[in-house]
Amino acid sequence: MKTQGSLKKTMLLLLFAITVSSCMEKKYQWSVEISAPKEYPIVIHRGLIGKSFFGASCVNSSWGIGIEVAKKQDFTVPETFEITWLSLVEKKFYKVKWKLPKNKIEEFLKKNTYPTDKKANSNVLQIGLAPKGVAIMWILNNKGVQIEIGRYQAEQITLESKDVYDNAKFMFEKDFINKALHDPKIIGANLKKNIAQFGYPPITIFDVYREKYPWSPKIMLPEGFSVSQLDIKMCNGEKETIQSTLSFNKDKRALPYFFQIEWKDKKGQKFVSKIAFTKSKEYRHFGKEELPLNFDKNQILTLFKEKTEKSIPSKIVIKIENELVSDFYLEQEDKRYQINEFTQATKKAIKNNPCICK
């Protein structure tokens, strides 16, 4: 039988081993961002991801495109996250506390961490907060690739002014929600006009956007021209960068709302073509890349929902001639559906840098 002294010694050794193990756990550089649909602004009360804490802030940046709430630091891989927020349109508080898929996050961080170039370590844990307490977590690397980590369900809670930090008590000021929803910094003129004309998107649409289909892009260029890179942004918040035409095919993807195609002509001159699935004039200029308003009513969503067979692979075909899209359609086996709802822009790259255009 062990004596009391030996038991105490064993416990101390165990505690020491746990402490050493924790200190030796590998750290990665990552920051935290929060996104919310533009039509459904939110106010964060508090949040905690691993050891990264963030406080009160108002967010409606766009679905899958966040604002930074915790700066990049060296952290261990987070195992849990907890967030409390106010949904302004619903006038409800939500709280989510969940365990994260640590192995999946660490695998992504390992692939996208560069010990010799710390400036390239711009990994982001991004959380999207939508109506009905829907919470999505994505992880984003410095190449613009963003994948979904998980979908979580928050519970509706009741909060009073006495329950929150001093810097969050403004949420309980008289008529705060009404004033916020009429603040042009939160609900801009175009968004206000759009809501008045079309109403709010269905509160369930952000789960609908997560549905994936067996589609792949097909880029058609004149003979001698070539694609160097294709960036795709999808309505579920995921983003993909394809640098080889051989990897265009994939089992399933969410539906796209934005393509950026980097290509070059016979002379080696590089071009960048931007295609957004909307007729909004705002997308005729480079820089606008967020999920278009009324995407739930967009033609591409209707085509996949009502025209295609979900089990049969399809292609979104883009034909470019004379620096412009000359043909754009959805193809599935022997059926072809013309895509008319889109906006395009093409520019020459300066000094072979596709990010800087004339």
Residue scoring higher pLDDT (163 or 156): 156
Give 290-345 pLDDT, tens digit per residue.
999 999 999 999 999 999 999 999 999 999 999 999 999 999 999 999 999 999 99
Cα 59 to Cα 225: distance, rounded to the nearest angstrom: 42
3-state secondary structure of 38: coil
**Confidence band of 284 (pLDDT split at 50, 70, 90):** confident
Total-model pTM: 0.88
Give 268-281 pLDDT, tens digit per residue.
999 999 999 999 98
Give residues with Cβ within 8 angstroms of 111, minimum separation 6: 141
Q: Which amino acid is at 248?
A: F
3-state secondary structure of 334: coil
3-state secondary structure of 149: strand
Whether 354 shows a pLDDT value over 50: the answer reads no
User: Parallel, antiparallel, or unpaired for β 67-76 and 27-35?
Assistant: antiparallel
Cα 176 to Cα 213: distance, rounded to the nearest angstrom: 42
Cα 215 to Cα 141: distance, rounded to the nearest angstrom: 24
Residue from 312, 328, 314, 309 nearest 249 by CA: 314
3-state secondary structure of 88: coil
Residue 337: strand pairing partners: 330
Residue scoring higher pLDDT (116 or 64): 64
At residue 115, the pLDDT reads 72
204: tokens are 């369930």
At residue 38, the pLDDT reads 95
Cα 193 to Cα 261: distance, rounded to the nearest angstrom: 32
| Cα-based distances in Å from 124 to 102, 121, 239, 260 | 15, 9, 13, 22
Asked if residue 35 lies in contact with residue 67, where contact means CB atoms within 8 angstroms, the answer is yes
At residue 249, the pLDDT reads 63
Q: Quick one: three-class SS letters along 174-212?
A: CCHHHHHHCCCCCCCHHHHHHHHHHCCCCCCHHHHCCCC
User: If you average pLDDT over residues 177-183, what whole number do you get?
Assistant: 95
162: tokens are 């006495």
185 burial via Cβ count (<10 Å: 0-12, 13-18, 19+): exposed
Cα 178 to Cα 176: distance, rounded to the nearest angstrom: 6
3-state secondary structure of 236: coil
Asked if residue 41 lies in contact with residue 201, where contact means CB atoms within 8 angstroms, the answer is no
Asked if residue 31 lies in contact with residue 71, where contact means CB atoms within 8 angstroms, the answer is yes
227: tokens are 């694609």
Q: Give 266-315 as a DSSP string.
A: TT--EEEEEEESS--GGGGSTT--SPPTTGGG-HHHHHHHHTS-TTS-EE
At residue 13, the pLDDT reads 55
Asked if residue 218 lies in contact with residue 123, where contact means CB atoms within 8 angstroms, the answer is no
3-state secondary structure of 319: strand
